[in-house]
Amino acid sequence: MSRKEALSQFIQQIHGRPVVVKLNSGVDYR
């Protein structure tokens, strides 16, 4: 699992739903 995928799953678990997070790097994680 890549770091990006791990971060994406981590965010989804926190919010309980798929979300798009705008990071400081300007990359959208879906």
For position 11, what pLDDT does the model report?
A: 74
Q: Are 9 and 17 in contact (CB under 8 A)?
A: no
For position 10, what pLDDT does the model report?
A: 79
Helices (H) and strands (E) in the chain, counts: 1, 2
For position 23, what pLDDT does the model report?
A: 58
User: Model pTM?
Assistant: 0.36
For position 25, what pLDDT does the model report?
A: 57
**pLDDT tens per residue, range 1-30:** 688 888 888 777 776 655 565 555 556 555
